[in-house]
Amino acid sequence: MKVTAIIPDELVNEAKVLSHARNITETMIIALNSYVALEKLKAMGNAINNKPLQFRYTAEEIRELNRS
């Protein structure tokens, strides 16, 4: 997709240096992938906070199951 966007040069240059990208397109792809991954992790964390994992067995019970 082609996009025209007005983004401060300093921000693009800093992102390019930090991402070790070869060009602006690669810089934007890396930045957007990182942003999407971060937001998915936040959503997963919120989901776990709202409904924590519940384990059926204690650690000792699992050890006993593994031994038998």
8: which DSSP letter?
A: -
CA dist., res. 26 & res. 32, Å (int): 10
Express each pLDDT in 20-59 by its tens digit: 999 999 999 999 999 999 999 999 999 999 998 888 999 9
CA dist., res. 18 & res. 34, Å (int): 12
Write down the domain spans for the chain: 10-51
pLDDT of residue 54: 87
pLDDT of residue 55: 87
Model confidence, pTM:
0.73
pLDDT of residue 23: 97
